[in-house]
Amino acid sequence: MAIFEGAGVAIVTPFKSDFSVDYDRFREIIEYQIANGTDCIIVCGTTGESSTLTHEEHLDCIKFCTEVVNHRIPVVAGTGSNATDTAIYLSQEAEKYGVDGLLLVTPYYNKATQNGLIKHYTDIANSVKLPIILYNVQSRTGCNINPETAVYLAKNVENIVAIKEASGNISQVAKLMSLADGCIDLYSGNDDQVVPIMSLGGKGVISVVSNIAPQFMHDMTRAYLDGDVKKACDMQLKSIELCNALFCEVNPIPVKKAVELMGFCDGYLRMPLTEMEPQNVERLKKAMKDFGIEF
């Protein structure tokens, strides 16, 4: 049984002017997501600026999100780290809060060999009982999960059940799924590749776009899951310019601006992320208007 099917939102973390977490706005964002069809909330991932949260803030955000959602939809907590012991600590604490799964990014900066990845993920998985989604995003971490490694983990570690593939390498994803033969669930980590990845057996997407168009992303994945491939494909193509605008600067700078434009938060980013360039703000506004998003 998959943790979720459809479109899960890689949710932003709103900050106040003093850069503390704005829990009132966070609640509003969570409620907006649930009211507009999001199938799962992924809290404290890349888009949630987890890399600049203290451990206490990180865990507080996970606990808060889980309490607000209150089992209405699944909650997956990002608890990955480049230090295995830290990932174990965060994962064990998140499990206490009642999350439905964990998202574990590959070690960054220090990276790891494929054998190191197997040991890293096995140790974390053995420390908890929750289902785990591996997160492969080499462009940000410098570390790739080879298809053979992902399949080995899925077959040998009971609670490693899925992978978020954000490598952008469709050929690698195809090889993974051919080797897996159904032993691992697949989620797209790139909003512009949702339908292609679902055509290879994907269950859906962990989405940045869902922050501002949750119903659309839900409907697109639902159309594919229901067998209306043409509708899903048409929706995917309609979303491409919005996807491009949301990634014209490093994520989550553009989506934080988009959420601000929609009135859900004040758009504050923690350093080293900085304010979006004016010309890119205009590009984002145009893409949102052309897509039909009101702000």
DSSP string, 195-264: HHHHHTT--EEEESGGGT-HHHHHHHHHHHHTT-HHHHHHHHHHTHHHHHHHTSSSTTHHHHHHHHHTTS
pLDDT digit of tens for each residue in the chain (295 aa)?
A: 799 999 999 999 999 999 999 999 999 999 999 999 999 999 999 999 999 999 999 999 999 999 999 999 999 999 999 999 999 999 999 999 999 999 999 999 999 999 999 999 999 999 999 999 999 999 999 999 999 999 999 999 999 999 999 999 999 999 999 999 999 999 999 999 999 999 999 999 999 999 999 999 999 999 999 999 999 999 999 999 999 999 999 999 999 999 999 999 999 999 999 999 999 999 999 999 999 999 8
Beta-carbon contacts of 49 under 8 Å, excluding residues fewer than 6 positions away, are 12, 13, 252, 269, 270, 273
- DSSP letter, residue 42: E
Maximum CA pair distance of the chain?
49
Q: What pLDDT is attached to residue 112? A: 97
Give CA–CA dist 272/79, Å, rounded.
21
- The strand pairing partners of 76, in sequence order, are 42, 101
Nearest alpha-carbon partner for 220 in 193, 245, 247, 185? 193
* pTM (global) more than 0.75: yes
Residues annotated as part of the active site: 135, 164
